[in-house]
A and B are shown apart, each in its own frame.
Chain A
Amino acid sequence: MNQNQNKSNILGGPEIITERDIRLAILNILEDSEEEKRIAENERDKTKAIINNLADGLIIINGENRIFLINPQAEKLLRVRQEEIGGEVLSDLIKFSSLEKLAGLLVSKKELFREELILKEPKELILEVTTTTLPRREEKIVILRDVSREKLIDRMKTEFVSFAAHQLRAPLAAIKWAIKMFLEGDLGKVTKEQRGFLEKTYQTNEKLILLVNDLLNVTRMEEGRYLYKPILADIVKITQSVIDSYKEGIQKKKVKFELKKPKEKLPEVLVDLEKIKLVIDNLLSNAIKYTPSDGKVTITIARAKKEIEFSIKDTGIGIPKDQKEKVFSKFFRGTNALKTGAEGTGLGLFITKNIVEAHEGKIWFESEEGKGTTFFFTLPIPSNLTTRK
């Protein structure tokens, strides 16, 4: 601002400009730029202090893929020093195994968001890598977050749940067998009243078995050893077999049911048979459970370009608007679902989503409270099959 005023003084000022005026103006300009410089230096120092004291590792890579800056935390995580690697091209630094791995990750995608990088030597370190590219300067900022501790705790939790669930299975089986033997008269006669109570006990125990099964499924998913040998299979056939197991339930509840499938044969999809059955089973049992008598459940299977689209529409209680975001999260139960008294572990849709995504499919839903819900999922058709009909 000052500078501009001075300039206008020089150009548009009094007609006679003395030497003194000029000197003064120059001094003014110099003073201003000194000030600018100080501000810039201040800013630089501040930025440097922030970068150096960040809890996360930070690396700045310039457009030529050379390391421009690495902060102390990143030095520590990757076990390198700025002096050793500053100015070097990242992919040339293969003698540092940590950098080699990072370089590999960085070229794999344009932008990374919390991508996992596991370093083994000297002790296991799990880093989450996030990158941002500065738009004008082609510079890439790489942020490294050490999540080893979180991962360890997460793994311990998963192992604990898995252990607990396994330990629960044996006594649950014993209870199931004992009650069933009472009910089947193996242990002598039971009165009508006793039978009633035993039957309820049996049902309660069955619910517990289901819960333990769900918990085991969840922990297996979290341990990342979930999908098992995918095979090519016909989705219509799989669906039909699940529907068959629900025939009784459908009749009992008096809901109408329809399966819509295309006339031509659909290409087979690559699936873990048991898991996809579980997906369809979960969706169908939800649809039946939350649809009142006289309602209708419709399954539609169709081909959509390079995928198979499966949808299941019901005329049930729907999902409240304010809870739609949570539908796929662990232990979620809709408030309206709870009011109906329908049983559920809150794990079904969480498991379902994970299975579909493990198959590289998508899952979503549309719902209106009181009117009904439609769940959709897709499964990719293997690319060598898409050309065939």
Chain B
Amino acid sequence: MGKKILVVEDDKFLRELISRKLSGEGFEVSEAIDGEEGIKKIKEEKPDLVLLDLILPGIDGFEVLSKIKEDPNTAKIPVIILSNLGQREEVERGIKLGAVDYLIKAHFTPGEIVEKIKNALK
């Protein structure tokens, strides 16, 4: 069975597109539409990797990330940030909090995102 990726993304269409791409590449995909659901699914499902948006209703991506890293049960799960924000401050904050990569949505194609995921899972 393929590795399990959790997509935390509030935009329905973006979620649909990236999930489709990932399943097409042989990954098992799980989805969360906000930070709260994201944290819950990470704890319950222990995915192999989390694709995390930053601007989310309620608990934002940065908070989700710090929660994952605080919990020893989930701290080792690699997180790739996939965001609209591209300011250096935000990128640095994400990396500091423990994200393995920081991708700006409009600058990466789904194919390139899959490559990044594969690299992070190696």
Residues of B within 8 A of A101 (CB): none
Partner of A186, one of B24, B84, B89: B24
Contact with B along A172-196 (1 / 0, CB 8 A): 1110111011001011000000000
B106 on interface, CB distance cutoff 8 Å: yes
User: Which residues of B (89-105) have their CB < 8 Å from a CB of A?
Assistant: 89, 105
Cβ of B21 and Cβ of A181 under 8 Å apart?
yes
What is the chain A residue whose CB lies nearest that of B10? A170
Given contact pairs A181-B110, A184-B111, A228-B89, A174 touches B17 in the complex (Cβ within 8 A): yes
* Highest count of chain B CB atoms <10 Å: which of A174, A209, A212, A220: A174
Residues of A within 8 A of B73 (CB): none
Given contact pairs A169-B84, A174-B11, A177-B14, A186 touches B106 in the complex (Cβ within 8 A): no
Complex-state Cα separation, A357 to B26, whole angstroms: 50
Given contact pairs A180-B110, A181-B110, A170 touches B105 in the complex (Cβ within 8 A): yes
CB distance from A259 to the nearest CB of B (A): 27
Cβ of B11 and Cβ of A170 under 8 Å apart?
yes
What is the chain B residue whose CB lies nearest that of A209? B106
Cβ of B84 and Cβ of A170 under 8 Å apart?
yes
CB distance from B48 to the nearest CB of A (A): 21
Give chain A's interface residue range (CB within 8 Å of chain B).
20 to 34
Cβ of B89 and Cβ of A177 under 8 Å apart?
no
* Highest count of chain B CB atoms <10 Å: which of A166, A173, A178, A186: A173
Cβ of A170 and Cβ of B89 under 8 Å apart?
no
Contact with A along B1-29 (1 / 0, CB 8 A): 00000000001011001101100100000
Interface secondary structure of B, over-half rule: helix
Cβ of A169 and Cβ of B105 under 8 Å apart?
yes
A274 on interface, CB distance cutoff 8 Å: yes
Cβ of A176 and Cβ of B20 under 8 Å apart?
no
User: Which residues of B (13-65) have their CB < 8 Å from a CB of A?
Assistant: 13-14, 17-18, 20-21, 24
What is the chain A residue whose CB lies nearest that of B53? A170
Residues of B within 8 A of A177 (CB): 14, 17-18, 21, 105, 109-110
Cβ of B14 and Cβ of A173 under 8 Å apart?
yes
Complex-state Cα separation, A166 to B87, whole angstroms: 12
B122 on interface, CB distance cutoff 8 Å: no
Residues of A within 8 A of B105 (CB): 169-170, 173, 177
Cβ of B111 and Cβ of A174 under 8 Å apart?
no
Residues of A within 8 A of B13 (CB): 174, 178
**A residues touching B (Cβ–Cβ < 8 Å)?**
166, 169-170, 172-174, 176-178, 180-181, 184, 186-187, 209, 212-213, 220, 228-229, 274
